Amino acid sequence: MSEQDKTLFQKIIDREIPGTIVHEDEHCVAFRDVNPGAPTHILLVPRKPIPRLCDSEPADQQLLGHMMLVAPKIAADEGFGEAFRLVVNNGAEAGQSVFHLHLHILAGRPLAWPPG
């Protein structure tokens, strides 16, 4: 991937720009959102640059499952146990602004339904 093709999130993962990282492993990195929608708002991003969830492939199944298991661990580490929400925006019309798949981990206040 060329430098100009890197997403903002890839640049954070590669430590080219700063981010407050709260978790990382060989598959994904989690960091605090700079424009939080809740008192705790963490973005969990795969190291593999998948633009949108609908761009994932069968080969990504293990990675996606890993992220779903890491998210509750991060929420627990942040002190929220079972009281958190996961959000995936798929495409611009769904609110996605960075085209590198990511899970929003939201916690720290009551979260209403429906969310949108």
Reduced to 3 states (helix: H, G, I; strand: E, B; else coil), residue 32 is: strand
Strand partners for 104? 43, 87
Tell me what pLDDT residue 115 has.
Answer: 75
3-107: what CATH class? alpha beta
Tell me what pLDDT residue 32 has.
Answer: 98
Could you please report the per-residue DSSP string of 43-92? Answer: EEEESS--SSGGG--GGGHHHHHHHHHHHHHHHHHTT-TT--EEE---SG
Which candidate in 23, 41, 66, 102 is catalytic?
102
Catalytic-residue membership of 102: yes
- Averaged pLDDT, 12-34: 97
pLDDT in tens, 73-115: 999 999 998 899 999 999 999 999 999 999 999 999 999 888 7
**Averaged confidence pLDDT in the chain:** 94
Q: Which residues contact 44 (CB under 8 A, 6 or more apart)?
A: 23, 28, 29, 30, 67, 70, 71, 74, 102, 103, 105
**Vertex 69, ends 63 and 74: CA angle to 5°?**
115
Q: Does position 7 have pLDDT exceeding 90, yes or no? A: yes
What ranges do the domains of the chain cover? 3-107
Please tell me the pTM assigned to this model. 0.92
Q: Does position 51 have pLDDT exceeding 70, yes or no? A: yes
